[in-house]
A and B are shown apart, each in its own frame.
Chain A
Amino acid sequence: MIGSAERGLRRQGLKYALALRLAVVGVASLGSFVESAPRPVVAISVVVLLNVWNVLYATTMVRGPDRARYWLVPVDVAVTCALAVTQLWTASAEGGAAGTNWVLAAVGITIVSYSWQIGPAGLAAATVVVVPALLAGSALARPGDWLSSVPLQLWLVMEVVLSFAIYRFVRRAARAADRQVERGELVRRQAAVAASRRVDEREYLAALHDTASATLLMVGAGIAGGRQQWLADQAARDLEVIGGPSIVSSREADLIPMLRDVGRLTPLRVHLDLPETLRMPATTAVLLCHGTREALTNVVRHAGVGEATVTARPDGDLVSVEVVDHGVGFDPQRLPRHRYGLTRSLVERMDRAGGQAEVHSRPGHGTRVRLSCPRRPTELAGDDTEVFGSVFLTGLRWAVVVMNLVILTCLDLPKLIANLDIYPQVWPQFLAWGGFVAVTIGVALRIHRGGDLGRWRWALIALVFALSAVATAAIPPEHRLGTVHWSEGDAGWTLVLLLLDVRVPVFVGVLVAQYVMTFAHAALGGDSALPVTSLVSATVIVLGYQFAVGLIAAVLRRLASSSARAARAEEQVRTEEAVAEQLHRDRVERYAGLADTTVPLLRGLASGTLDPGAEDTRRRCAVEAAKMRRLLAEDATAPDPLLHELRACIELAERNGVSVSFAEAGVRPVIPREVRRVLTEPAIAALATARGRVRLTVAGADGTVTVSVIADCPPQAVPVPNTDQIATSTMLDGDRLWIQATWQGGRG
């Protein structure tokens, strides 16, 4: 699945690539007037047609249907080739083969921006077609020395490759960011589902307790002497509750019972100071609970005391939870930075929910942890923007590092070496070149360690300016701004790398300042190597490309926040779906559990086909009520669920005047819930219908569990389940019925 960041990147990347192309081609085509084209009329018509086509191309690309690309791109390639061939009439030959012209700049940006619009195969094909066309155009315009323009064409190919590399790097970063956010989402979703399930189950059981269980208990105890309307109505209402849809909204939960659970599961005496109820978004409630547990765990581990106080209260639009202990405390200032302790994990966790965590502590004065979260679901709390932003930036930085090294070694170094005899002194050139390489590698190491440039940024920028000035000064004035002057535009790339995460005006300002400095330097020295016209085209090509990278950085920053918003919105939808689906499944399962027993009884009572006064009905109701009692006692957190559930039923029986002698022996394996239900069924039925004394025993040995009950009760009232896992045997001794249910599934 394509995540929000990658999707956003594809969409935004396309838009910005097209906008950049429009702008650069527009500026470059202005060059046709400066350059004094050989055939001005033709040149002007070509310029107008080209820009019209560009606008048409861009709008169709963005707004048109996807399949439009299949014809749009080939047509665009054809137009670009045609433009390349028109150099004869539209571009001045003044700059010579080594110089550039506006056509070259326009064609260059067109194919460079393809990498953000079409796949690698299309990009390769377009390049293979356009570059020879450009060569052909040069050959037509300057039949004498067209071969000397070959290096320039090759460099264009290189630019295409680099642009493609940037796109790939950034795209990979987008994918990585998506995966990272997805993992976070998965965890949050599972937590939300689990929380909602617990809440729903608790509410369902509470409802059961108040409805079906109460009705059946009443009938079982013989309160209704015969058929009565109110009883029938009650049974009908109970049926609705049992079969009804989920009671709990998947998004809301009550924080208080969840906090109680947290307090109970800590090996501390936890004093709770909580309101009756505190409803809030389920995910936030889970988060607060996790935070509270974390804080309590820290009390256990570090505070050296056995008790803590947990306070929760609504606080305006916030809900705050405080965990206070009077233990040894610590000095937050002196905590080692590398320790991923209480403070950091809590703060980060609360940040996610748009909340806050504060830790106050002093040695000898205990610790107070205060967590607060908004009570209402927040739209977005800055959340994943950081993740997206930093991953994007890292991707782009790597791309620029690679690109800059390629430019320095494959383009500038050959220029430098080829012109060694022209430089009066060679060392300033190598110093500047080596300096740029060193700065680039330094930045690369910094990214690798995951750090920020910090205050080094401005020192390094000053260094680049100084190196650029040194290199320019050491070039004979007549060669400045020409091929010999390799550092002229390319010093800018090192600056781009250093400026990637600053605001756009600063980026543009610093970059332009570098060019102005170099041009002024050259102008002061007198005649330079290139005519002004050629200089404009050359600068447009390089500077446009550098601006483009800065623009990408800015786009990615914006994209990060919109991606985070989109991711959060999608997450909310998916979480709600997951919660709803799971709750529905739980409901169906629970209803199935009651369908064969409770439901027919309630139906019979509601329709009047069962007489609540009849002995048999009363007995069946008593048994069902006891079974429901056991269901209500089902609690995953009870240390020994079997005994916990049996005790609930013993209590019920004792309230009905039955004297129960209970004993247990041995150790029991963990018994699955379904097995537990069947295993306890005879005992519960016997407890519900017995009179006088009941002996109830549980024995476990060798992975076998036996639940045995001896009671005075009618044999027909007690089920004798025999499944493939559970064997039940009965024996009647006078009035005493002895039933043993045995499960051997725990044998390992």
Chain B
Amino acid sequence: MTTVVVVDDHPAVVAGVRAWCMLADPPIEVLDSGANVGVAWLTPGDQAQVVILDLQLDVTGPAYGDLKRLVDAGRQVVVYSMRADRETVLTCLDIGAFTYLTKSEGQDHLVAAVEAAATNTPYTPPVLSGAFGTDDRPHRPRLSPRESEVLLEWFHCESKDMVARRLNLTVRRVNACLERVRVKYANVGREAPTKAALVARAIQDGLVLADEL
């Protein structure tokens, strides 16, 4: 059974996450939860496969330091935040977060994202897709026009069926596109064990070719 630890200072959010995990099929076990990142480092939280981390634990700004330490310790972190701005989203990915979810996407995507993190399969929810698709930083990975298109349409509509219909693709190809983009992002910027694992897995599965990166 997949196990998680929830770091969030808002009791309602924690309760919601617990409920979703319990109702998931198969259920996900919440080992511990708390307002402080300490719960992820202490027993039993340190045994969790996935850390659900709220970025804004206090007024000092996004908890990039906590995220970095977790990532460097090899933890799979799903960032779960109120913030939806591109800067924050891309910074978290660059640090090595497994994926980034806004609070409004939780209901549709949190469980799936946790499952994907547990199995180390790329997972790109719409807001993250929008951030990738509109990325104009100089060191961004090179995307094909088709990939950019898929990213933006996925951001707009939240339904892979509709994206596929609109672009005359199969859902499989839409998924493949999203996964490849995710791997390309894992391959740039700061080095982190979780990112390396994602790339290695993708090459192993034949999702991308080594010389494509």
Enumerate chain A interface residues (CB-CB to B < 8 A): 661, 663-667, 695, 697, 699-702, 706, 708, 710, 731, 733, 736, 738, 740
Contact = CB atoms under 8 A, between A and B. Distances in A.
B130 A708 contact: no
Given A666-B130, A733-B165, A708 B136 contact: no
Given A663-B126, A731-B162, A733-B161, A701 B156 contact: no
Nearest to A733: B162
22 contacts: A663-B126, A663-B127, A663-B155, A664-B130, A665-B130, A665-B155, A666-B136, A695-B157, A697-B126, A697-B155, A697-B156, A699-B152, A699-B155, A706-B152, A706-B156, A708-B156, A710-B157, A731-B165, A733-B161, A733-B162, A738-B157, A738-B162
B161 to A, nearest CB: 7
Contacts, number: 70
**Chain A at the B interface: SS class:** strand
A736 to B, nearest CB: 7
Nearest to A666: B134
Interface string B138-178: 00000000000000100111110110011000000000000
B156 A740 contact: yes
B104 A701 contact: no
B128 to A, nearest CB: 9
Nearest to A668: B134
Nearest to A729: B166
A665 B131 contact: yes
**Chain B at the A interface: SS class:** helix
Contacts of A663: 84, 102, 104, 126-127, 130, 155
A646 B158 CA distance: 20
A733 B136 contact: no
Contacts of B69: none
B191 to A, nearest CB: 27
A701 B152 contact: yes
A6 B102 CA distance: 71
B100 to A, nearest CB: 12
Given A663-B84, A665-B131, A699-B130, A731 B156 contact: no
Nearest to B84: A663
B166 A731 contact: yes
A661 B156 CA distance: 11
B96 interface: no
A736 B162 contact: yes
A700 B155 CA distance: 12
Given A663-B104, A666-B86, A731-B165, A708 B134 contact: no
A700 B133 CA distance: 9
Q: Which residue of B126, B134, B156, B158 has the most chain A CB atoms within 10 A of its CB atom?
A: B156
Contacts of B127: 663, 665
Contact of B134 (A667, A710, A733, A738): A667
A87 B133 CA distance: 104
Which 4 A/B pairs are nearest by Cβ-Cβ distance? A666-B134, A665-B130, A708-B156, A701-B134
A663 B126 CA distance: 9
Q: Which residue of B133, B134, B166 has the most chain A CB atoms within 10 A of its CB atom?
A: B134
A111 B133 CA distance: 87
A733 B155 CA distance: 17
A643 to B, nearest CB: 12
A665 B134 contact: yes
Contacts of B134: 665-667, 699-701
A252 B156 CA distance: 48
Contacts of A699: 130, 133-134, 152, 155-156
Contacts of A740: 156
